[in-house]
Every structure is written in structure tokens, then in C-alpha cells.
Structure 1
Amino acid sequence: MTGNVWFIIGASSGFGKAIAEEALRRGDSVIASSRRGTSLKDLESLGAMLLDLDATSEDATISAAFQKAIDKYGKITHFVNAPGYLLEGPVEGASAKDALDSISVNVLAIMNLTRLQVAYLRTRGSGYIANFGSIGSWHGGSAFSHYAAAKWAVSGFTESVHAEVKEFGINATVVEPGYFRTEFLHEGGGNRKVVSNPLEKEYKGTSVEQARNALNNYNNKQPGDVVKGAKVIIDVLTGSGVAAGKEFPVRVVLGRDCMDGIRAKLASTEKLMKEWEDVIVSTDHDV
């Protein structure tokens, strides 16, 4: 056994589950949690401690879950916050509840978990927190406005947290994957939800319909390998393997598609700055 103890929220599928499996393969201790965490018998058979934990729970419930892990392993060294889902559809088709639920799970839960994790790790004087952003942290697009808003928020929040807590020996990073071959784009489950009023007739033939068709066609054909991604994430969070000797990154970008998307965003932003530079600086006070 190593000295690493991972507490993973959202371990039922995708990256959360892959990170749990990779950490266990390396001989680390893992607490795997989700809303139905105790049903993750395959992770339990690999040696994980299972916990039921809804990411949107009250502070007392979250703290009690952390304490169960500490009681068993004596500490928690790494937190991974991987809950979340895609809310798909035109913005006008989302009800107020759709929007609130999306922000509650994808943003506010991450913020609250991080707050409690920082409070614990600060008393230890060390530790790691990984929150999940996305390629959607860098650009918006038709049919995923709420998802992009959530992921931009998580990336900005995590970057700020890292600056705030690194003096205490705590490192926070946001993982920004491109499209990986997980269950994320499956319809009918908890990972991909459609707005209450999809307005399919009204948006027929538009970029919203095109985006939906693209997601359906891309499902199970995504270029990213989640097993490889999980190995990189653990290397980064342990300073080993591909991360050995490198400065800790506040962003962990995964996948060529995400890298290409970020470079395109940087180029378009620089073009915008150059085109509007005279207007931008014209708003300063005269010297």
C-alpha cells in the first residue's frame, strides 16, 4: 500500500470510476462515492471503500462521509470531484428548474465540496483537489449553453482556489477533457439530460438540431481513451510518471481535440483583441 488516500465523488462511471480503478491498481486506498455508491461492487472487489454520497448534500452529511474515510485510513490526501451532467437543448427550452438543477450539481456542489475539502487539507498542511471542467470550459456553442456556463465557472473557480491555497501546501487543478469514450453522451441516463421543452419543430434545421445529431453520431466514437486519461490525472496529482519533474498544472488538458479547441480559442481571442484594440484602450481616463 502507498500513502495515498483518494476520496472520489462521482465514481459510478466515466472518469471518476477510471481514476478509482487506476489508483487501486497502483496500491492506493480509494473511497468511491456517488448517490448509489454502495452499489459499486466491482470497485469494492478491487479494494475500494464504498459510500453513498449525493454531491449536493448538506455540509454535515459531506463532513460525516469524509470522517468515515479518515476513521478508516487515518487521512485523505487526494479529492476528486467528478459529479456532473450535460443539459442539452436550446436555452429558451430550459425551465428555471432545469437551469437551477444544472448549476446546483455542476457548479455549486463542486464549490461546496471544495470548500470543505480545503478546510480539512489546510489543517493537514498538504493535499490535492481535482475538479472537472471540460473542453466546454473554453468555448460555447449551440445546444449546450448551460453546460458551457457551468464548466467555465468550475475552471475559473478552481484556478482561483489554487492561487488561494497553494501557500498552505494544497494544490488544486481543473481537469479539462475533450471527448472521451465514456457513457457521458448516452441518452436516457443521468449523464445527458434534455431541456424540458426541446422545441424540436421550432429549431429544426438549425445549429441546435445539428449539435444534437452530432452528439448522437459521436457517441461511442469519441477519440479519448478514459483509461489513458485516468493514468495521466493520477500521475499529475502524485507528481509521478509523465508529470515527474514538471511544475504542477492548474489545468490538466486531455485529448488532442481539447488542445486544438483551446488553440483555436486563443487565436480567435487574439484576433478580436487586435481588431478592437483602439476601442478597448479608448475607455481609459486621459492622463
Structure 2
Amino acid sequence: MAGNVWFIAGASNGFGRAIGFEALKRGDKVVATSRNPAKMEDLKAAGALVLALDVTSDDATIRAVFQKAVDTYGKITHCINAAGYVLEAAAEEASAQEVFNQFNTNVLGVMSMTRHALHHMRPRRQGVIANFGSLASWQGVPAASYYCSTKFAVTGFTETVHNEVSGLGISAVIIEPGHFRTGFLNEGGANRIKAANPLTEEYKGTPVDVVKSQLDGLDNKQPGDVVKGAKVIVDVLTQTGVAEGKKIPNRLILGRDALDAVQDKIKSTEANIKEWEHVILSTDHDDVKK
């Protein structure tokens, strides 16, 4: 696909930043957005159009930023929604405001960006929207109840959007990476927010306590290489390189740990169905054909 224009939300770090650099390296145009444009000076120096954008902004604000991108480059071919963070909290530990903030960024922000991207892609009957899920789209991780639920939500939303717009020449893809070395788990960063009132003693020795310790140990030691991941993502979304001759998948899983999570989910689901199939089928009306 020639003349690609990438609109990236959450381009100041992690996958958003890496995708921006990979696209620029290929000669594509990049519109890099983030709440903090100062963190994208290197992308700007590399040729990106850098714009301030908080994905939780109102429609008028988001619309204006998209319009600035279209006014500059004439179109948007790829929209990447990489903004997000993890609220480190068991279900009981989080406040209502902390839960709202998590969903506002990770889910409602993705939905807003998708709506506005479709407004520009639909008339052209061409485009790719890629929303970030996670291995947490497949499994419930203790100490991340709300983060996991946001990723389940984004996956369901994205799959449905794809079914709505694929006939219009638009693809919606959920990208599901495992643990990548992006700084996502860094203490004091913007991507790992701990509940203000944790129940440390109450959950001592439980899976919640274990996972919190594991996250500390995993920080900066994640197995995934974000540069390699970004290269695969750009290949897949442009149907080049490793994706030459392939259709864009609805779900793009990245990393061995993510693959393991998916395979575990498939096995446990199949086992559950096998054990309970007779009960599952027993609830239909008697006049339904067997």
C-alpha cells in the first residue's frame, strides 16, 4: 500500500513510539500524538508530525487533531491506538475513580479514536485500525482485574468493528503482545499506576501478592523485543515483509508468552466444553432440533 499515513495515539513510548520510527524508516508519513509532545522530540526530528492529544478528550478536540493530520497529509491510512496503562490493583483495592480512569483511557479512548478514524477512512473505502490488546485479553491476571477487563473489552469491540467495516475495505485488528521490554512496568512511570489504598496485609501470600512481586521482577527483563515487534506490526498492517501475500488477521499475537496464554485458554475452554456439553445443550426448547 503506497503512500501510507500513520496516525498513532500513545506515540511517546512503547509500541506507539517504535511503530512510528519503523514507519518513518520505510518512508511513510507519521502523525505522532501523545498527552506530552515534549516526549516525542526524537520522532519530530525523524520527520513525524507531532501533535498533543489525550485520548480521553471530547469529540471536538479529537476531531480537530484528526483534521490537522488530514489537512497536512491528505488522508489517514493507518490508525494505531497504543495509549493505555495498567492499574495495579485487585478488584477490592481500587476506588471507583481509579476504575473509571482505567476504562476511560484503555476502552473509551480506544473507542473514540476508532470512531474518528472511521469517519476519514470510510469515504475512501480503505484503511487499517489497530487497537492494542494484550495476553491479558485471554486470561485474568490477579492484581490486574481492571486492566484485564479493559483488554477483553477492546478485543470484543475491535472484532465487532471489523465485522461492521470489512465490507467497506477497512480492517480492524487487535494486537495482542505478551510482555515486551518497553518500560511499561517501570516504577513511577505513567504506564503502571498502583491503587492509592492497597490491601497489602489482607492479600499477603495470595495470588495478588505473588503477581505484584512478579511484576517487579519482570520490569526491564521482559522477553519481547519492541523493535522486532514493531517491524512485524508494520509488515502485517501493510501486507509486506513477513506478511507478503497474506490477509491482515483480525488478531495479531506477539511473543511466546502471549502464544502460551492463548493456547492455555483454548485447552481449558475445550476441556470445559467437553465436561459440560450435555448441560449446555440441555437448556434449549424441546422443539429445537437436536
| Equivalent residue runs for 1:1-287 within 5 Å | 3-287=3-287
Q: Could you tell me whether the CA contact under 8 Å between 2:162 and 2:170 is conserved in 1? A: yes
1:193 is displaced (CA, Å) by 0.6
What CA deviation, in whole Å up to 9, does each residue of 1:166-191 have, x standing for no partner?
11111110100000011101111110
> Contact 1:134–1:178 at 8 Å: present in 2 too?
yes
Q: CA deviation at 1:69?
A: 1.1
- 1:141: how far off? 2.1
What is the TM-score of this pair, normalised by structure 2? 0.97
| Unaligned 5+ runs, structure 1 | none
CA RMSD of aligned residues (A): 0.9
CA shift for structure 1 position 37: 2.1
Contact 1:133 / 1:175 at 8 angstroms: preserved in 2?
A: yes
SS of structure 2 residue aligned to 1:7 = strand
The number of residues matched between the two structures is 286
* Shift >3 Å, 4+ stretches: none
Cα distance, 1:233 vs structure 2: 0.6
C-alpha separation between the residues in 2 aligned to 1:260 and 1:204?
28
Cα pair 1:37 1:52 within 8 Å, conserved: yes
**CA contact under 8 A between 2:66 and 2:116: conserved in structure 1?**
no
Q: Counterparts of 2:206 and 2:67 in 1: how far apart (Å)?
A: 50
Give me the whole-angstrom Cα distance separating, in 2, the residues matched to 1:44 and 1:90: 39
Which consecutive unaligned segments of at least 5 residues does structure 2 have? none
CA–CA distance in 2 between the matches of 1:285 and 1:271? Answer: 25
- What percent of counterpart residues are identical? 57
Q: Deviations over 1:220-253 (max 9, x none)?
A: 1111000000001101110100111112200010
Instruction: Calculate the TM-score normalised by the size of structure 1.
Output: 0.98
